Amino acid sequence: MTRPLPIIEPFRIKSVEPLRMTTHAERVELVRAAHGNLFLLAAEDVLIDLLTDSGTGAMSSEQWAAIMRADESYAGARSYYRFEASVHEIFGLEHVIPTHQGRAAEHLLFQTLTGPGDVVPNNTHFDTTRANVEATGATALDLPCAESHDMESDFPFKGDMDLPALERCLAEHAGHVPLVMVTITNNAGGGQPVSLACLRAVRALCDQAGVPLYIDACRFAENAYLIRRREPDQRGRPIKDIVHDMFALADGCTMSAKKEGMANIGGFLAVREPELARELRARLVVTEGFPTYGGMAGRDLEAVAQGLREVLDEAYQEYRHASIRYVVEHLDAAGIPVVLPAGGHAIFLDAGRFLPHLGWRQYPGQALAIELYLEGGIRSCEIGSLMRNARDERTGEELPAPQELVRLAIPRRTYTKSQMDYVIEIVRRVFERRDEVRGVEIESGPEVLRHFSAHFRRVDVRAPAPSA
């Protein structure tokens, strides 16, 4: 029998950046100085930075070459036309509006389409999407499918939307749903993919109700790869054909090119309707820039134009998913509660089950993220009650999030397999002493997007001793 070859990084390294080791004692001090908030650490004090996969990846030699060729003209730059051509070719949406990052595209879209009394359904809003919907006075409604709540099942499309709930929402709020949005992959819900079948069904419901469908496209190629791998009638199809079918269903999309644009900054909004495009561009000039650069330099437009093509490379996607599966499988085999099956851009630890002695008010996700940093200098991010910051509409009282997760987001083309082995070992070490991990409470912080800047205090909730 021939053994299968391991899937290797389909690139070699041309430029390196040294990492700085810190001692445990130094990290204790650094966490104290950052008030328990890992966003407030200096990046130099982090060994392996898994805070986000957004804008943190490595660019290719072709991207750097394109950057040198960029045209920085204010209007009508060659780089804009290359960018527009890439978006047309891949997404098939006519009107392309460059923005400095994803949330600027969201801001433009929701400021234009939504207002007080409106409801925007989404499989799960990412935090900036929610903030932008709510900033217009509209309600951001999450409608994840029922299967998404079981983090151990191997259901292949936990990113799917709850279709009966969407149908009810469209009927109940008829005339007040300006758009439906689907986030691919579902970042806040564990990086899980949305099936093509679900997208088609959402489109059919939107057609019945006469409501446009928008896609939050940040991780579109990873989603398409997982459709090919998991959706029986999509096996064997090229990723770019699946992408084409997904976006043929949409009236528009918002995109953070910091993810699958393979660039360090950038984004866009793309729509079909010319009237809407005119209105959006009028706003764009006020807040971002002239329509042929938006919020981007010519060199950013070039990096994204090239990156969007590279992200569709089959060998790249094979490697990307194999490296994430590798970590998930090793953690799962060690009995560590991790969201299954592996998603596309990150490993999600289930902090609720990892630290069962902590209630949601002790923010187990934040407690675990702190511990991973103390143990091995790894920076991760809480995606749970802290980030969600849900409130009872009447009383304003804080409510728990459906899940308490810690995300280890993997920057693209950046860390090697041996660095992933190090991550696995650090998580195992924290798991072995999980009973000692203390919870946190918020000492101070803002009301909106509080997880970025809140200060935390450790609280002494530990697992009871076995004899107690």
Ranked by CB distance to ligand F0G, the top (closest) residue is 102
- 173 scored as a contact of ligand F0G (CB under 6 A): no
Count of chain residues binding ligand F0G (CB under 6 A): 16
Strands 455-459 and 405-409: unpaired
Is residue 218 close enough to count as binding ligand F0G by CB under 6 A?
yes
Measured from the CB atom, the residue of 86 and 128 that comes closer to ligand F0G is 128
C-beta of 129 vs 317, nearer to ligand F0G: 129
The span from the CA of 123 to the CA of 107, in Å, is: 19
Of 20-28, 125-133, 140-148, 453-461, which part binds ligand F0G (CB under 6 A)?
125-133
User: Per-residue b/e over 429-455, b at no fewer than 16 CB within 10 Å?
Assistant: ebbeebeebbbbebeebeeeeebeebe
Contact in structure between 348 and 339 (CB atoms under 8 Å): yes
- Report the nearest approach of ligand F0G to the CB of residue 183 (Å): 5
**DSSP E strand boundaries for 47-103:** 48-49, 95-99
* Nearest residue (CB) to ligand F0G, 190 versus 439: 190
Question: Rule CB under 6 A: is residue 128 a binding residue for ligand F0G?
Answer: yes
User: Which residues inside 401-440 make contact with ligand F0G, applying CB under 6 A?
Assistant: 409
Minimum CB separation from ligand F0G for residue 54, in Å? 4
| Binds ligand F0G (CB under 6 A): choice among 86, 123, 132, 183 | 183
CB-CB contact of 37 with 379 (8 Å)? no
Binding to ligand F0G by residue 451, rule CB under 6 A? no
**256 sits near ligand F0G (criterion: CB under 6 A):** yes
Q: How far is the CB of 261 from ligand F0G (least distance, A)?
A: 9
CB of 351 to ligand F0G, least distance (A): 17
DSSP string, 234-301: GTT--HHHHHHHHHHT-SEEEEETTTTT-SSS-EEEEES-HHHHHHHHHHHHHHT--TTTTT--HHHH
Angle made by CA atoms 333, 339, 340, in degrees to the nearest 5: 70
Return the ∠ at Cα 251 (arms to 250 and 253), rounded to 5°.
75
List 63, 187, 223, 292, residue binding ligand F0G (CB under 6 A): 187
Task: Choose which of 31, 47, 54, 251 interacts with ligand F0G (CB under 6 A).
Answer: 54
Give the binding range for ligand F0G (CB under 6 A) out of 14-22, 124-132, 195-203, 322-330.
124-132
Give 187 or 323: the residue with its C-beta nearer to ligand F0G. 187
Asked whether position 264 contacts ligand F0G by CB under 6 A, the answer is no
Contact indicator for 260, 87 with CB cutoff of 8 Å? no
Please report how close the Cβ of residue 103 comes to ligand F0G at its closest, in angstroms: 3
Residues 99-118 that bind ligand F0G (CB under 6 A): 101-103
State in angstroms the smallest separation of the CB of 179 from ligand F0G.
Answer: 15
Q: Which residue has the tokens 């409801």?
A: 119
Phi, psi of 399 (to 5 degrees): -120, 155
Nearest alpha-carbon partner for 364 in 432, 453, 443, 461:
461
Residue 16 burial class via C-beta count within 10 angstroms: exposed 0-12, middle 13-18, buried 19 and up:
exposed
Residue 216 is a binding residue for ligand F0G (CB under 6 A): yes
Interacting residues toward ligand F0G by CB under 6 A? 52, 54, 101-103, 126, 128-129, 183, 187, 216, 218, 256, 258, 267, 409
